[in-house]
Amino acid sequence: MAEQHTPQLLRVTIDGIAVQVPPGTLVIEAARQVGVMIPHFCYHPKLEPDANCRMCLVEIEKMPRLQTSCSTRVTDGMVVRSNTSPVVQAARKSVLEFILANHPLDCPVCDQGGRCDLQDFSHEYTPTVSRFTELKRIFPKEYFSPLIETQMNRCVQCLRCVRYCDQVMDVKALAPAGRGTMTEIKHFGHHALDCEFCGGCVQICPVGAITSRLSMYEYRPWMLKRTETICPYCGDGCQFTIQQKNNELIEVNSTYGAGRNRGDLCARGYFGYHASTHPDRLRHPLIRRPDGTFREVPWEEALEVAGERLMGIKQAHGGEAIAGLITSRCTNEELYLFQKLMRVVLGTNKIDCSARYGHVNGIEPLRRVQGAHRWTVTFEDIVAADVLLLVGTNITETNPITGLKVKEAVKRRGARLLTLETLLPVRGSISNITTLSSCHIPVHPLGYGQAVNALVKAMIEQNDVAPQIREQAVEFYRTIESVLRTCSWEDLECDLGVSRYRFFEMARIFREAMRAVVLIGQGVLRASRGADIVTNLLDLLLLAGHHQRPGCGLGVLAEENNDQGAVEMGALASYLPGPVSLSDQAACQAIASLWMEELPQGPSATLPEILNQARVGHVRALYVVGENPLASLPPSFNVQEALERVEVLVCQELFLTETARHAHIVLPACSYAEKDGTFTNTEGLVQPVRRAIDPVGESQPDWAIFSALSVVMGYPIEYGSAKEIFKEIQSVIPRYALLGPAPTPPNVHQDVVDRYLHGDFQVDVTQRYTWPRLSPKSEKRLTLILTQSLFHSGKFSTRAKGLLRVQAEGTLLLNSTEAARWGLQPGGMARLSNERGAVSVKVRVLDRVPEGMAFFPEHFDHDIRILFQAEVDPLTQVPCWKQTSVTVEPQ
């Protein structure tokens, strides 16, 4: 048989084994392909080669001296000798001898022991007696940071940590200091390390020089049981490995290349795992005594009481008197089963989930304009994009790993980044995506509607509208053009404080893109009329002609791990699993026949509606799963009144939250670490969640509780495992039958787009593009905004001791000019007040906060909530309340 030789591939022989690899392949990678493992310290596939450790030397025919295989790219016909060359073996031995000369050999107390490259290679190459009889270099121990520990005597100076921090994270927190043998890895400044705490340096260190303080001295690697699962915090859906010893969580890490995160994690993922096993976890079912205290009861009793009381309400007042709220942190199986239980057993359509706090503002426009309720792009498309438009997202802090994809596109592939964001492009200890922007327009949190108006207007006015739209959808763009004529550039410039030419520039770059991806964050999704802004951005995509182009699309960044899944499981008002709209009779009927049940015919209700109805007594029983409306909404929303009014409040929770304290029956549920199931990430990938530890106390997975409750109530919907539920989900939602390591994004439905372009857009076009003028900046008041922090996600992470070491309390963040204006000292206290109340908070100066504003992390909003007033979006029923205005005085 003639030898196969593709012209694009190069032939290489490594240790006598022939292999064909594409041009540009490094010798070390070519060798890996044929099973020749070349030892190395400094090389890592994520990083640019540095060739400093000299461990990977190989002999290459026709080349002088030994070459580093990590930096040499293959050429056709290259002959490489690695393990078969005595010269190479001797060279590696000598490199190890050099490294070990100053190494402390403290393996017995080193956390890396047992999974250390230096240990493994030493075992493979060096004799047991060292020729080094001189003095060892010793670095005195220095405190490094609350979470990351360095032990520089163990360092092999491969600089992987430094390079990772720069090349992947774009944080540049670490640097080598000193020269020669005195080189040590340090951070900048005379204080403890202050960085993103992504844990990347710990993960990438080949030896025990950088380790995690959370698990110091707690284990040997072979004692740990590993479970691959999905991070429970944001919607990025990072895959990580939980490692436990005797049912205790010891460590979390992520294998190189694993999951959508490709092995990268953020602080929440890497250091936030203790939240699951916090001592405050509920261990037993509780029933409230008349005096308000709780008593522990056996499961049987709790379920019986809960079942009886819920059924009692159903029988007396009908299913419509019962409503359910569930958190999007639950698995798909649980969300699905919850809505099925509520509909089939309790006979109500009044179900809602935490996607209501913002994610629906993205879902509704996507369904309406392009017929697909999820991303039509993937993380790979973000990396491959040539233009990225980020609107209202401080992506590093909300969706750090999606942020890494953006960084990769910009830093390594030269994509152009456009940002509409409140943040100012000021560098700091945490990376700020706007500093990478080639066109950044600062936008007031209330000004996104106008900013998008300006962008659309700029695109139309400079004739950037794609020819196919101009020809085939004349009506569409003419209408938008005429609506926007009423919105003058003078007004826009005055309100936004930005020249129109910036918008012309941004529109031009966006129009010229070959692969444009728009990402929308909480700044828009939680804003009043967020859905209108998203629809207008979809208009922008249509006008630029990008909607059909491969690799182009609009993504809505999910805040919670399973926001997308919650929507698709039908745990959302007015939707059945699919999501199928309740108004779609045929589709509803199909689901009913699959379930072989009658669907309730009563009205659905959203979260604000449910609370309102509870307050006036229309909803008499409330089943709340993992949701904590009392802490998620400001006091002015009167949640407390609603909770006190209902006759039956069943809470299924990890902790005795503010809401759970009002419950009549509290059922202890398992966290993500104790159960099986699936999460759907922000790009729509369904990923398996696996049980890593035994349930804490008597807690049960939510799905098991629903199942048991259905039995108690006499309408058994029983499942033996989460997998059985998932099978049913697959039969109801065909998309869930397509599982894989990467998402298969849906196509834009051309018929839906056509319907939109030729008529549907008109329904609200005037209203969508009409935005109230921004009131001029007040000299006497400060705009206070609740924002998300990189170190926390919702309130769940505030139970993680690792994250609390980095951020244990909320501080008022404002820039130095603003701090000086109000006479505030960094570290001092400020008193914030408005007509609703007053609170005292600590002050921190952060120069990326724009003038006239102050940020406060929402995770610690317990006291500050009283200053806010919620306003419910009339269209999507999203409660918007993340900003207010206050007066400030030093205290």
Partner 1 sequence: MAQYEKILLRNMEQPGYRGSLHEYERTGGYQALRKVLRDLSPAQVIEAVKNSGLRGRGGAGFPTGIKWGFVPKDHPGPKYLCCNADESEPGTFKDRQLMERDPHQLLEGILIACYAIGAPVAYIYIRGEFRLGAKILERAIEEARGAGYIGPRILGTDVGIEVYVHQGAGAYICGEETALLESLEGKRGLPRFKPPFPATHGLYQKPTVVNNVETLCNVPHIVNRGAEWFASIGSPPKSTGTRIFCLSGHVKRPGNYEVPMGVTFRELIFELGGGMRSEKPLKGFIPGGASAPFLTPDHLDVKMDFESVAQAGSMLGSGGVTVMEEGTSMVWAALRLMEFFYHESCGKCTPCREGSSWILQILQRIWAGGGRPGDLELLEDLCKNIEGRTVCAFGDAEVSPVLSTLRYWRDEYEALIHQAEATRTTKGEIPVLTM
Q: Token pair of 835, please?
A: 């007509």
ω before 734 within 30° of 0 (cis)? no
Is 119 an interacting residue with respect to partner 1 (CB under 8 A)?
no
Is 62 an interacting residue with respect to partner 1 (CB under 8 A)?
no
Nearer to partner 1, 153 or 528 (CB): 153
Q: Token pair of 497, please?
A: 């404080």
DSSP-assigned letters across all residues of 75-116: -TTEEEESTT-HHHHHHHHHHHHHHHHH----GGG-TTTTS-
DSSP 850: P
Size of the chain, expressed as the number of residues it contains: 891
Q: By CB under 8 A, how many residues form the interface with partner 1?
A: 36
DSSP-assigned letters across all residues of 336-363: HHHHHIIIIIS--B-EEEGGGGTHHHHH
Is 102 an interacting residue with respect to partner 1 (CB under 8 A)?
yes
Amino acid residing at 340: K
Among 39, 49, 200, 551, binds partner 1 (CB under 8 A): 49
CA distances from 301 to 296, 304, 655, 661, 771 (A): 10, 5, 20, 19, 55
Is 176 an interacting residue with respect to partner 1 (CB under 8 A)?
yes
CB of 185 to partner 1, least distance (A): 11
Among 21, 27, 152, 156, binds partner 1 (CB under 8 A): 156
Q: Are 284 and 296 in contact (CB under 8 A)?
A: yes
Nearer to partner 1, 178 or 826 (CB): 178
Among 6, 128, 133, 585, binds partner 1 (CB under 8 A): 133
CB of 144 to partner 1, least distance (A): 20
Is 63 an interacting residue with respect to partner 1 (CB under 8 A)?
no
CB of 181 to partner 1, least distance (A): 4
Among 10, 27, 31, 53, binds partner 1 (CB under 8 A): 53
Among 142, 181, 777, 827, binds partner 1 (CB under 8 A): 181
Window 843-872: contact mask with partner 1 (x via CB under 8 A): ------------------------------
Q: Token pair of 107, please?
A: 């393996």
Among 94, 255, 834, 885, binds partner 1 (CB under 8 A): 94
Residues 217-236 that bind partner 1 (CB under 8 A): none
Stretch near partner 1 under the rule CB under 8 A, chosen from 44-52, 331-339, 441-449, 780-788 = 44-52
Nearer to partner 1, 57 or 342 (CB): 57
Nearer to partner 1, 97 or 304 (CB): 97
Among 69, 82, 145, 157, binds partner 1 (CB under 8 A): 157
Among 6, 8, 65, 734, binds partner 1 (CB under 8 A): 65
Q: Token pair of 699, please?
A: 């807690």
Among 132, 143, 256, 501, binds partner 1 (CB under 8 A): 132
Phi-psi region of 570 (alpha: psi -120 to 50; beta: other; left: phi over 0): left
Nearer to partner 1, 136 or 478 (CB): 136
Is 135 an interacting residue with respect to partner 1 (CB under 8 A)?
yes
| CA–CA gap between residue 623 and residue 40 (Å, rounded) | 56
Nearer to partner 1, 65 or 289 (CB): 65
Nearer to partner 1, 137 or 309 (CB): 137
Residue whose C-alpha is closest to residue 418's, from 459, 446, 378:
459
Among 22, 23, 77, 178, binds partner 1 (CB under 8 A): 178
Distant-in-sequence, close-in-space partners of 392: CB < 8 Å, separation ≥ 6: 420, 421, 422, 443, 448, 520, 521, 522, 523, 524, 525, 527, 533
Nearer to partner 1, 92 or 268 (CB): 92
CB of 170 to partner 1, least distance (A): 15
Is 554 an interacting residue with respect to partner 1 (CB under 8 A)?
no
Stretch near partner 1 under the rule CB under 8 A, chosen from 132-140, 557-565, 784-792, 869-877 = 132-140
Nearer to partner 1, 137 or 781 (CB): 137
Stretch near partner 1 under the rule CB under 8 A, chosen from 127-135, 199-207, 516-524, 854-862 = 127-135
Is 97 an interacting residue with respect to partner 1 (CB under 8 A)?
yes
Pairing relationship of beta strands 10-14 and 17-21 according to DSSP bridges: antiparallel
Is 750 an interacting residue with respect to partner 1 (CB under 8 A)?
no
Is 175 an interacting residue with respect to partner 1 (CB under 8 A)?
yes
Main-chain phi, psi angles of 769, to 5 degrees: -95, 10
| CA–CA gap between residue 232 and residue 556 (Å, rounded) | 18
Is 172 an interacting residue with respect to partner 1 (CB under 8 A)?
no
Nearer to partner 1, 427 or 773 (CB): 427
Burial label, 843 (beta-carbon count in 10 A; 0-12, 13-18, 19+): buried
Among 14, 28, 91, 423, binds partner 1 (CB under 8 A): 91
Among 137, 284, 690, 844, binds partner 1 (CB under 8 A): 137
| CA–CA gap between residue 694 and residue 277 (Å, rounded) | 11
CB of 48 to partner 1, least distance (A): 10
CB of 28 to partner 1, least distance (A): 13
Three-state secondary-structure class, residue 830? strand
Is 596 an interacting residue with respect to partner 1 (CB under 8 A)?
no
Among 71, 479, 548, 834, binds partner 1 (CB under 8 A): 71
Main-chain phi, psi angles of 497, to 5 degrees: 70, 25
Amino acid residing at 293: T
Residue whose C-alpha is closest to residue 644's, from 674, 611, 601, 606:
611
Report the Cα 617 to chain-centroid distance in Å: 38
Is 165 an interacting residue with respect to partner 1 (CB under 8 A)?
no
Stretch near partner 1 under the rule CB under 8 A, chosen from 131-139, 213-221, 292-300, 779-787 = 131-139
Is 183 an interacting residue with respect to partner 1 (CB under 8 A)?
yes
Stretch near partner 1 under the rule CB under 8 A, chosen from 30-38, 178-186, 555-563, 580-588 = 178-186
Residue whose C-alpha is closest to residue 859's, from 136, 459, 267:
267
Is 68 an interacting residue with respect to partner 1 (CB under 8 A)?
yes
Task: Measure the CA angle with vertex 303, ends 300 and 305; round to 5°.
Answer: 105
| CA–CA gap between residue 82 and residue 59 (Å, rounded) | 6
CB of 266 to partner 1, least distance (A): 27
DSSP 192: S
DSSP-assigned letters across all residues of 419-456: EEESS-----SS--GGGG-SEEEE--TT-HHHHHHHHH
DSSP-assigned letters across all residues of 594-642: HHTSPPP-SPB--HHHHHHHHHHTS--EEEEES--HHHHS-GGG-HHHH
Q: Are 619 and 849 in contact (CB under 8 A)?
A: no
Residues 346-385 that bind partner 1 (CB under 8 A): none
Which residues of this protein are in contact with partner 1, per CB under 8 A? 49-55, 57, 65-66, 68, 71, 91, 94-95, 97-99, 101-102, 131-135, 137, 156-157, 175-176, 178-183
